Copies of this chain bind each other. A is one copy, B any other.
């Protein structure tokens, strides 16, 4: 059995379908009451919306990202819907990222690797928090080597609070996040030297880099030309397509939009009357999501083209 490098598969899918990562951070409150009430439970409505969204946006999504927090918040039925959402995305042949941001030591890290790379919650790629040290990445890196699974490590997040630790200057020079970046680069070199990847392939260990500050985007894109990025901060989070365009150069990346897609129906002028009358259907809100995905993909591809000319 040949091992598929899921990060390269993701990069390839983004070349075919565009760089948009549709984020399924699906809170039941993101659905209008008239749609919610058609389902037996809020989690049932979420599953129906997720499936309809994946169907509708497939032609404009490089991948999907499922944020597990929203499913944990719905308790046990929520985690069933989490599993069923992953299953549905996989059944459509699309790469899926589980945004879990786990990070723990030794046997606990192994348990998390088992949890998310096997069994009910098996996914292609996960996000990880490196705070407790680089040894905490090991069980996941092993799964990358053996089975092609992918990892995005938090490098430069899109929230204002990233100045508290990530951007702190070190006495020895550089920032805290530079240490993380060096480790991600070191892992890429290890994959190359072990011939697990070829030069030009996406390294199984990518980085999360938010598109919220132009100079950071420019620096990190130049520093790590061979690393594939997961890019939050576009759309509802206030990030700019222009900065995403910078981050999409070199090895490229995938740009997440969650509420920008999920809540597109709230701003869709075509739905004003129905929205005000409380008469929306799942099909209509999904159609708004489709249009938002199409427009986002266009905007991101234009920003990427503009940057590559600059």
Contacts and interface: CB of A to CB of B under 8 A. Distances in A.
Contacts of A224: none
B69 A111 contact: yes
Contacts of A105: 157-159, 161
Interface in A64-123: 67, 69-70, 72-76, 79-80, 83, 101-109, 111-112, 114-116, 119-121
Given A103-B101, A159-B105, A119 B73 contact: yes
Interface in A154-193: 154, 157-166, 168-172, 176, 179-180, 183
Interface stretch (A7-15, A130-138, A247-255, A264-272): A130-138
A244 to B, nearest CB: 18
Contacts of A129: 101, 103, 129, 131-132
A111 B99 CA distance: 13
A116 B72 contact: yes
A124 interface: no
Nearest to A161: B133
Given A27-B111, A73-B119, A101-B104, 8 more contacts: A103-B103, A129-B132, A130-B164, A130-B165, A133-B163, A136-B161, A169-B170, A170-B170
A25 interface: yes
Nearest to A180: B165
Nearest to A169: B171
Contact of A101 (B102, B170, B180): B102
Copies in the complex: 2
Contact of A121 (B70, B75, B130, B132): B75
Contact of A119 (B75, B135, B168): B75
A159 B171 contact: no
Interface in A33-85: 67, 69-70, 72-76, 79-80, 83
A132 B162 contact: yes
